[in-house]
Structure 1
Amino acid sequence: MVYQHFTVAPGLSVAENLVLARGELPWRLDWATEFERLNAFMARMPFRLDIQRAVSSLAAGEKQKLEILKQLYLDRRFVILDEPTSVLTPQEATEVLGLMRDLAHANELTVLMITHKFSEVTAFADDVSVLRRGRLVGSTCVSDTSPEELSAWMMGQSSSKASAVERKPVDDNLPSRLEIEHLDVPNDRGTLAVRRLSLSVRPGEIVGIAGISGNGQRELTEALLGQRKSVAGDIRINGQHYGATRIEMQREKVYSLPEEPLRNACIAGMTVAENLALRDYDRGELCRHGWRVDRRAIRARARQLIARFQVRPDDPERPIGTLSGGNVQRVVLARELTDDVAVMVVSNPVFGLDFASVELIHQRMQEARNRGAAILLLSEDLDELIELSDRILVIHDGQINFETTAATAERHELGRHMAGAGAGAMDLHS
């Protein structure tokens, strides 16, 4: 099975993870033979990973590729894919699912794919079944159904578009709220993952960044959120230098929706209520006399946020690590959108989530945009970027190499630049 959450050993290399997946191993490995076998295997695959890289250095999309490669390497006859393409480019997704479909039609493999993407179902599946709240609500041949019918089954209504948020136009006369100029950010090995990157985001604007996973998105996000040091360049909010300290984030009202929220935005062993209070447990109504945490107030506010953001189960005392991925992200969304938002940094916010959670998160992001938030959205899902963004930039090898409006964006053109066409930095600082 290819799980929604990664099952790789971060302290080992790609090669060691693939070999370890075989299970029983001899007490001594002939690595020359193993590398020869692994290189021959990689040559047949639709995408590549450096087999000597440490898994800890891989971005989320690269880890997802490794999970799929493990199953193919083991010659599985039955494979379950849980949201397998959430952080793959359209080209990679087509290659991966096309390979799976071809193997299935050649009677070499049986595939059960769990996905919320209609395009994947209609393009690659033979039959489809829909679950809602743990119950089977419909099953049919793909050729006998439509996206509208599938949406009705999934949501319990004919269309999810009824609650669509009206988009306010971006005021081009407003000065940029978030500005990044000639930013250099190193990766874990010390080499530059982000190189002389410049961009700007205005109030009431969503700027999307498209790119193949592993091209500097993680390092850029971490630099903006104070989790990684930049070595050159400048980040400014409202014209003032921004160092991403906790005090600056509170003062400038900078919030985030990160990928892998259990790792990047939550403490798994703490309760939902405690995680909801991580930002402001020492301020306002949650803190008595300026020093004493008011746990009763924390629980009371948690119940309100749980109801507003439809977190299930609705228990503020439940450890957040026991929630589903969609509900963990709902908790993070509730925490990050509690106050007025000036700047929001969003990275793959709906990775592997259920359809209803995706709709809720997208709706809340658009509402924040319409209230004047400047939102930087990093995503490997072009559908998400085109739907939500006002402008789309493409990042390749740590540099912005293309810009377009979402209204005129062409998938083929975005894909070409994601693969490196027209490589070279664009100066988008304005």
Structure 2
Amino acid sequence: MTAAEILSPLSAPLTTRAPSLETAGMTKEFGTFTALDGVSIKVSSGSFHALLGENGAGKSTLVKCIMGFYTPTRGSVLLDGREVKVETPRHARDLGIGMVYQHFTLVPCLTAAENLVISRADAPRVFDWKSEKSKLEDFMDRMPFRVRLDMPVSSLSAGEKQKLEILKLLYLEQRFLILDEPTSVLTPGEADEVLGLLGEMAQRGEVTVLMISHKFREVKAFCDSFSVLRRGQLTGSGDAQEATVAEMSRMMIGDTEIRARAERLKHNEKPTVLEIAGLTAVDEEGLAAVDRVNLKVKAGEIVGVAGVSGNGQSALVEVLAGQRQIQDGAIFIHGKDFEPKRSDFDRFKVFGLPEEPLKNATVPRMSVAENIAFRSYDKPPMASLGWWFSPGPMRAKAKELIERYRVKTTSPDSPIEALSGGNVQRAVLARELSGDVDVLIVANPCFGLDFASVAEIRSQIMEQRNKGAAVLLVSEDLDEILELSDRVAVMSGGTISYVAPIEKTDRNTIGAHMAGH
């Protein structure tokens, strides 16, 4: 290819139609580590293309090369069949390539209109707001969805903020849209609305969409094609409507053995084990983070707590774990007062798997064996005479649990921070589930994990339920809630707004309550 055929971003003409985009032999090396190895994908004009792969597969590295955050070691980007040099994110924008990130990039104190106008490269120092607002209204009239232009971004819902992020790209005339897990902050209804409208725009040839996602339901519902990365290499691609979920999963995980999920055993009516009564706690500003929450969990039951992030779920888990002070209300186990402290955790057989266990449930620099011993280091056979600690029994117990729970570690003496996320989860589960469990509290247990770890952990949770444990599952993954729960409770505005048996509700009803309707 001659130099004249390689377009510079600033000389490339902006297109008003949906472009195609290809990566050709895209390779990115970080020292001796190869994050991308000769990846070639093609996203056709006007298509809605899914980019699939587990954490660490290379998805983020690939889109960062496309967006100009990284300079590839080898390989190229082709836009409408012509090679382009994307040296910076601004160059990508000049070419009509835009990205919606997992976290919002809006200025909260400014209005939606102000956020749109200041995003322009040619934004003036002094705005003629009468003229700008008229142009923005004309722009909104041409868009498939709207947001309130005069409202501060801080007052918009998560769904409205996500819509505004997408509208910002369209306002900047970006026609190739990269969406990074775009529905993680949306209710099911909002997710379906946004993806459906973008799908319609793609069908009309107005935009091309490349979506990073781990939700097969959305891929099957909205995407027409897909590509799969594993360990930095392209392992498959095809028609998203013709390929089965099992086929796409196999491309993602290869020959990794996946544990079959434990079957849900039927129980006769069981007594209430965990009761949360009028529980109230405040946040750092003194406002109610948990607001008079009432909930009961029976033996042999999983109650899933669903909700959009930031509605009090994390605060509820912190209260139950003793990490946030109770302002009012009470917790009962088997009808008796429970205080979230170590003695009561032991007495009532309460165990848990908090969110981000490496941060919240381990001491990273201590060994795997030491972390596994946290619940039993002061009990026989690890301790005698109430104070004499014996490292031999601790290490022997750790080796047994490492094997039973299939924790992949070079040694029980390795620091737990050296383990992968999935193996940290397994090590914490080994510690928490190795004895009798009456109450199990888990929060987002599978976030960011590989397929094999997800299957293993969900099976462990179901097995505890089958053994008679009362399980409180707090998760922002509605698919996980629907798969595991016997009953679902929706948390909105710091309180429980809806409770129903899983067989008497559905995704749309749950989503409506998550949105506060």
> What TM-score results when the alignment is normalised by the length of structure 1?
0.75
For residue 504 of structure 2, the aligned residue among 388, 391, 408 is 408
Code of the aligned partner of 1:204: G
Measured in 2, the distance between the counterparts of 1:65 and 1:299 equals 52
Q: 1:170 aligns with which of 267, 273, 282?
A: 267
Identify the residue that residue 209 of structure 1 maps to in structure 2: 305
Between the aligned residues of both structures, percent identity stands at: 44
How far apart in 2 are the matches of 1:231 and 1:123? Answer: 44
Once the two structures are TM-superposed, the CA of residue 278 in structure 1 deviates from its matched residue by 2.2
Count of aligned positions: 391
Corresponding residue SS for 1:150: helix
* Shift of residue 185, structure 1, vs aligned partner: 1.5
Q: Which runs of no fewer than 5 residues in structure 1 stay unpaired?
A: 23-28, 54-60, 422-430
Shift of 1:154: 4.4
Deviation at 1:279, TM superposition (A): 2.2
Give 1:139 shift. Answer: 3.0
- CA distance 1:193–1:130, shift in 2 (3 Å): same
Shift of 1:270: 2.5
The structural deviation recorded for 1:314 is 4.2
Task: Report the Cα distance in structure 1 between the residues aligned to 2:414 and 2:160, rounded to whole angstroms.
Answer: 32
Determine the C-alpha separation between the residues in 2 that align with 1:270 and 1:103.
52
Distance in 2 (CA, whole Å) between partners of 1:134 and 1:308 is 31
Query: Does residue 139 in structure 1 map to residue 237 in structure 2?
Result: yes
The verdict on how the C-alpha distance between 1:231 and 1:52 changes in structure 2, with shifts beyond 3 A counting, is same
Which residue matches 2:247?
A: 149
Whole-Å Cα distance in 1 between the matches of residues 408 and 228 of structure 2? 20
Indicate if the aligned counterparts of 1:100 and 1:111 stay in contact, CA closer than 8 A.
Answer: no
Deviation at 1:150, TM superposition (A): 2.2
Tell me the residue number matched to 1:251. 347
Cα gap change, 1:310 to 1:376, in 2 (>3 Å): same
Tell me what 1:57 maps to: none
CA shift for structure 1 position 103: 8.6
Deviations 1:39-83 (A, max 9, x none): x9xx9779xx98679xxxxxxx98x999999999898978583x5
Q: Residues of 2 paired with 1:154 and 1:309: CA distance?
A: 23
- Per the alignment, residue 331 of structure 1 pairs with 427
Structure having the higher strand fraction is 2
- Mapped partners of 2:103, 2:395: distance in 1: 33
Alpha-carbon distance in structure 1 between the residues aligned to 2:428 and 2:163: 28
Aligned equivalent of 1:283 = 379
SS of residue paired to 1:179: strand
Kindly state the Cα deviation for residue 347 of structure 1 after the two structures are TM-superposed: 1.2
For the pair 1:315 / 2:411, whether they are aligned, the reply is yes
Higher relative contact order structure (alpha carbons within 8 Å, sequence separation ≥ 6): 1
CA deviation profile, 1:235-280 (whole Å, cap 9, x unmatched): 1011110111111001111111111222221222323222222222
Deviation larger for 87-96 or 69-78: 69-78
1:14-413 alignment runs, 5 A limit: 81=180, 85-86=183-184, 88-94=186-192, 111=210, 113=212, 115=214, 117-130=215-228, 137-154=235-252, 163-172=260-269, 174-413=270-509
Q: Check conservation: 2:189, 2:512, Cα contact below 8 A.
A: no
Contact kept? 1:148, 1:159, Cα under 8 Å: no
1:425 alignment counterpart: none
Instruction: Tell me the secondary structure at the aligned position of residue 264 of structure 2.
Output: coil
2:473 counterpart SS class: strand
Q: For 2:416 and 2:423, how far apart are their aligned partners in 1?
A: 9
Determine if contact 1:148/1:158 at 8 Å carries over to the other structure: no
TM-score normalised by length of structure 2: 0.63
Q: Give the residue type in structure 1 aligned to 2:298.
A: R
Q: Deviations over 1:390-417 (max 9, x none)?
A: 1111222122222211122211111111
Aligned mates of 2:307, 2:460 — CA distance in 1: 24
Change (3 A) 1:339 1:270: same
Q: Which deviations, in whole Å up to 9, do the C-alpha atoms of 1:350-400 show, x marking residues without a partner?
A: 112211111111100010011110001111222111211111112221222
| Ranges in structure 2 where 5+ consecutive residues have no aligned partner | 1-59, 65-101, 119-124, 138-144
* CA drift at 1:296: 3.4
Listed one character per residue, the Cα deviations across residues 287-338 of structure 1 (whole Å, up to 9, x for unaligned) are 3543243333333333332332233344333333333322222222222111
Q: Distance in 2 between matches of 1:78 and 1:278?
A: 47
Distance 1:410 1:384 in 2: 13
Inter-CA distance 44–300: structure 2 relative to 1 (3 Å threshold):
farther
SS state of the match for residue 123, structure 1?
Answer: helix
Range that drifts further, 211-220 or 260-269: 260-269
Determine which structure has more spread, i.e. the larger CA radius of gyration.
2
Verify the 8 A CA contact 1:342 1:372 in the aligned structure 2.
yes
Native 8 Å contact 1:87 1:351 kept in 2: no
Q: Which amino acid aligns with 2:325?
A: K
Deviations 1:219-242 (A, max 9, x none): 111111111111111110111101
Distance 2:199 2:352 in 1: 37
Which has a greater percent of helix?
1
Secondary structure class of the residue paired with 1:177: strand
Question: Please, what is the CA RMSD of the aligned residues?
Answer: 4.3
Matching residue's letter, 2:328: A
SS at match of 1:356: helix
SS at match of 1:188: coil
Q: Which amino acid aligns with 2:504?
A: T
Which position in structure 2 is the counterpart of 1:424? none
The 1:259–1:65 alpha-carbon spacing in structure 2 relative to 1, beyond 3 Å, is: farther
